[in-house]
Amino acid sequence: MTAPLTPPPPPHEPSPHDAWQAPDAGYAAPAEARYGDGGPGMKTELIEGAVITVAVALAGVLLGVLWWWLAPHMPLVGDVDEQGNWAVYLKDTEGEQAVGVDGTLTLLALAFGFVSALVVFLWRRRGGVPLVVGLALGGLLGSLLAWRVGMWLGPSSDVLAHAKAVGKGVTFSAPLKLGAKGALLAWSLAALVVHLGLTALFGPRDPEPMYGAVPKDGYGAPVQ
């Protein structure tokens, strides 16, 4: 009496869930895996960041013009004492024009920060560190440029000469002066906050990597 013949087991086929299985032919590795930190896109991003820095900084000219146009003017008046010496006084000692000058620049800078961040986001939704740095640096340079442009367009900084030119007792405007230097950071801070919020809400999302084909049964349903 002989034992029944048992067929040999079929050769082992690799499971789709095997950790050592080679990725599917159509799978593309993420960009971080294909390229290093200095990959082909870094040069382009640096160029775009430089362009954003220059463009945002040049917008500071418009900010300076608006500041000069919208800021309140501080009234001064000149007088001459008995010795013939000129002196300049504030006509309205209780006025708040100085606060208004700083507040006008701050509010305008916040608005420029919002607009510049929105434009940069719509131009390059993917973001990137060079774009953010260019936006912040451009906002700071634009604020400095606006400060100088406003002072240049405003009344002369030589108040004694101005008082002598208009005459004794005649009211004239004081030069534009920025008392709160922190207003120069308003543009950059607003741009960073707005750009970060837009990127978090509406920025592109990275797709989940597909490391292998999902196994399916004879009916086309995925195998659990």
41-77: per-residue pLDDT in tens? 788 889 999 999 999 999 999 999 999 999 998 888 8
Can you give the pLDDT at residue 71? 92
Q: How far apart are CA 141 and CA 212, in angstroms?
A: 50
Maximum pairwise Cα distance, the chain: 144
Residues 6+ away with beta carbon under 8 Å from 130: 45, 46, 48, 49
Quick one: tokens of 45?
Answer: 């991003």
DSSP character at residue 157: S
Element (H, E) at 156: none
Can you give the pLDDT at residue 164? 76
Which residue ranges of the chain lie beneath pLDDT 70?
Answer: 1-40, 93-95, 205-224
Radius of gyration for the alpha carbons in the chain, expressed in angstroms and rounded: 33
Q: How far apart are CA 112 and CA 117, in angstroms?
A: 8
Q: How far apart are CA 224 and CA 217, in angstroms?
A: 10
Can you give the pLDDT at residue 36? 41
